[in-house]
A and B are shown apart, each in its own frame.
Chain A
Amino acid sequence: MTEETQDAPRQHYTDKEKDDVFNNEFLPHINSMYNFGYRLTLDRDDAKDLVQDTYLKAYRFIESFQKGTNAKAWLFRILKNSFINDYRKKSKEPNKVDYQEVEAFYNSDEVDRQITPDLRVESLKDMIGDEISNALNALDVDFRTVIILCDLEGFKYEEMAKILDIPIGTVRSRLHRARQLLKEKLSDYAKSMGYKNADV
């Protein structure tokens, strides 16, 4: 197949070694994988199917995985590709984002002068329900993805670039824009919760 197999030379594993890799390096990431699947599809059943497909593919191509390397990034990459190939086509969600525009913006002098949403730390403290989750889910899937990978899973630029097949510069600009958009959503929530912080 595919891009998943291009990097490393093929390994040769016995059946026992395969099971070891699968049990000790792949399965421990199941909760993160399920959450990533859910945040992409926004549907728990689809997330289950997606994770199942991903692990099946990972097992099938286990010999292109080098023991002891970054299994989590490898799995996330397969999941993301499966999502794009198998799920995104089916969904009606409009995903087109003009990244050139985003990057042009990021590289301009406007970045530091932009008006940041009037969101305060204090108002976040009252978001004890689903506000943050809803705000995140309301972002375009590409923006949602970088936030999950960076803020929740702690991946670095280089890992995110590999998982998403985009240049590091694009990771940066996408993250920057994603944070901005998330703050705008949270700011709307804060306002609807009765905060009047426009004067700060």
Chain B
Amino acid sequence: MSQLSNSNPFIGPSGKKPTCMEMLQFILDNDASEEQKAYFKQHMDSCMPCFKSYELDMSIRQLIKSKCCGGEAPEDLVDKIREQITQKLS
């Protein structure tokens, strides 16, 4: 960790060093840069709690993606929308 922290791309203008949880949240929230993602990946190799949290959170995300998509919208929905537009707005 110490040899990495000099170039930690998570350190902002305030110079404050982020905690593991803070770094992980940036990753999970789709808000990390490629550089930050690479740094965190390397960091996880030597930080078991981060690795475990990351693995758990990503598994939950996978589960959400596979189970909570709701499938396709009802077939007649687009037709109904078009019908309403024609009726009300044309």
A contacts, CB < 8 Å to B: 27, 30-31, 33-35, 38-39, 44, 48, 51-52, 55-56, 59-60, 111-112, 116, 119-121, 124-125, 127, 130, 132-133, 136, 147-148, 150-152, 154-157, 172, 175-176, 179, 182-183, 186
Contacts and interface: CB of A to CB of B under 8 A. Distances in A.
7 contacts: A35-B68, A38-B70, A51-B77, A52-B77, A124-B60, A151-B61, A157-B31
B72 A31 contact: yes
Contact of B68 (A59, A111, A152): A152
Contact of A157 (B29, B69, B70, B78): B29
Contact of B56 (A33, A121, A151, A172): A121
Nearest to B21: A112
Interface residues on B, range: 20 to 34
A132 B66 CA distance: 10
Q: Main SS of chain A's interface residues?
A: helix
Contact of B89 (A34, A59, A120, A121): A59
A104 B80 CA distance: 46
Contacts of A59: 85, 89
